[in-house]
Chains A and B, each alone.
Chain A
Amino acid sequence: MKKIIYIIIAGCFFTSCVAVKEYEKVNLSDPDMNLSASKSSKFETSAQLYRESASGANGGKSGGGCGCN
């Protein structure tokens, strides 16, 4: 857990050294650069939720709503 906290703190320090301007975000705005799971993979994720013990930490569902995980 300590490592995780260190990583998060280190990540926060990145904020002070990088500031990409809005007009420089053309590539970052590409739909394929989206940092969330794609909508079209919803049912693949749902199948994994049923077949595996782990879930969550993907910006989506982490449990509840079904008699599954």
Chain B
Amino acid sequence: MKIFISIISLFFITISFAQEQSEDSSLTYKKRVLETTEIDFLSSYYTQDGDNAAVTGGIGTEKLTDFASDIVISIPLNDDDVLTINATISAYTSASSSNLNPFDNSGASSGEDDDDDDDDDDDNNSTRKLNSKLASSVTGSPWVESTGESQKDVWVNGNVGYSHSSDNRNKIWSANLNFANEYDYTSFGFGGSHTWLFNEKNTEFGVKGNAFFDTWNPEYPTELDSYLEADKNLNNGFFNNISILNQNGNVIDKDGTEVWNPNKYSYIEDKSRNTFSLSLSFSQILSKNAQFSIFLDLVQQKGWLGSPLQRVYFGDRSNFYVGNASSIPNYRSSSNKDVFQLADDIERLPSTRFKTPIGARFNYYINETFVVKTYYRYYTDNWGVDSHTAEIEVPIKITDKFTLYPTYRYYTQTAADYFAPYEENLSTQEYYTSDYDLSSFDANQYGLGLKYTDIFTKINFWKFKLKSAEIRYNHYDRSTGLASDIISLGFKYLFE
């Protein structure tokens, strides 16, 4: 709460600074902060694959593709003020999130909105449809992409920012509002910042505060959600007419003593997820060719910090399955196409997290051809994660209009205290997850970009004058086996 009050105070202080500045306007000539409206278009295509899907408890396909587009419009309102509008849309298809309901491929509920929010009427339709199938026809696998609604989703984000610079350009304040939405998550945020430049603009100090008030619209794994919907009766609802198999592949007696019983599972009660951050930055010019900056963030998160989609399998609980009994011995292998293990619970993580990242950039202008850009970050949080990030980019001006951008990035992190692989968490623990994003790993990223710059904006489309165009490709390898590729296209136009 103290952080929240501090951020709100910061927001109003920045506004009061701005008012002070506007009263202090000078009649002397001053260069406009932004000469004309600028429009940035950015698109990317991202693809990944791996074998540790969190939705299926740490094993299973992580195949995902994402296509995203982003537009940023920066409008000079007068000599001092700039309005920035940013909209992003990101559409993905994901094999792992499709396995929120892994039984789609068996025809159980294909085409229905069946990802099982607890108050979703469509669940009843999908459950009835599922029950009409013979037990033997209901199959699933963590290694097979399902076909239900959760296979794909769209994330939209809108951000409006306003900045004001003082007449001598030594003080800049800004404020922003943010909104984002996806099928199971909604976010409202706002923030403000103030930057001071001094020492003949050789030194810069900035303070920024942000607050996000996010809300889950939780979706749960089909079998867990259905279990509570049927009042824990395996002869009702989703599991009626469906055979449940034990580790030996034998059909269990649902009224017997050896039954699937996810008794730790419950719907999440606190659907909020709030984030408050305070960022400090310091930049310094070292010489005519060198400058550096240091960033420090203090981030407090509260609320449901796990994901309700992500299954956990306990090592101290018996295993139960739906599907083809003969595939159970191969459950961990990608050759398993038709049996699915019923989850013991969703991941449970503490309701608070405090993150402290500190980063530094150092840029050096070698000559008219080469620039060296470096970045390092140390990160620590109270979940036990420590990480180091190191990055280097060497822009190479191959002509006066074309620049190459070879980049390399190394990342390493320790595991969160609550992480354990598939079947290695225990039901006696308070917190647990098998999300490999919280595991210990190293990652390497290699990239290359090419940028075309035309300061005279000779290429025009109607009122749009092309200032620059850029293409970037990056390949990412994680020691857990996850690999991804991303290709981005960017265009900057002046609008006159």
Contact = CB atoms under 8 A, between A and B. Distances in A.
Interface of A: 4, 7-8, 11-12, 14-15, 18-22, 24-28, 30-35, 39-44, 46-48, 50-59, 62-67, 69
A8 B280 CA distance: 11
Contacts, number: 206
Contacts of B375: 58
Contact of B182 (A46, A64, A67): A67
B289 A67 contact: no
Given A42-B42, A53-B416, A56-B277, A32 B294 contact: no
Contact of B365 (A30, A51, A53, A55): A30
B297 A62 contact: yes
A53 B381 contact: yes
Main secondary structure of the interface of B (DSSP, over half): strand
Contacts of B157: 65
Contacts of B72: 39
21 contacts: A12-B203, A18-B287, A19-B200, A28-B285, A32-B363, A35-B361, A39-B72, A42-B70, A43-B44, A52-B443, A53-B381, A56-B277, A56-B357, A57-B295, A59-B281, A59-B293, A64-B187, A64-B301, A65-B178, A65-B180, A65-B189
B282 interface: yes
B284 interface: yes
Contact of B395 (A14, A32, A56, A58): A32
B202 A20 contact: yes
Contacts of B451: 40
A57 B212 contact: no
A7 B284 contact: no
Interface residues of B, number: 92
Nearest to A39: B40
Contacts of A51: 48, 437, 443, 476, 478, 482, 484
B202 A44 contact: no
B359 A57 contact: yes
A52 B287 contact: no
B307 interface: yes
Contact of B285 (A8, A20, A43): A20
B486 A43 contact: yes
B126 interface: no
B411 interface: yes
Contacts of A26: 288
A29 B376 CA distance: 22
B317 interface: no
Contacts of A12: 203, 282
Interface of B: 40, 42, 44, 46, 48, 68, 70, 72, 155, 157, 178, 180, 182, 184-185, 187, 189, 198-203, 210-212, 214, 216, 273-275, 277, 279, 281-289, 291-297, 299, 301, 307, 355, 357-359, 361, 363, 365, 371, 373, 375, 377, 379, 381, 383, 385, 387, 389, 395, 403, 411, 413, 416, 437-438, 443, 445, 447, 449, 451, 453, 470, 472, 474, 476, 478, 482, 484, 486, 488, 490
Question: Which 9 pairs from chain A and chain B are nearest by CB?
Answer: A64-B212, A64-B275, A57-B359, A57-B357, A54-B379, A43-B44, A56-B297, A54-B387, A56-B357
Contacts of B361: 35
B363 A53 contact: no
B438 A53 contact: yes
A15 to B, nearest CB: 5
Contact of A11 (B284, B289, B403): B284
B90 to A, nearest CB: 8
Contact of A40 (B216, B445, B449): B449
A25 B484 CA distance: 39
Contacts of B395: 32
Contacts of A55: 355, 357, 379
A37 B42 CA distance: 15
Given A14-B286, A54-B357, A66-B155, A19 B202 contact: yes
A40 to B, nearest CB: 4
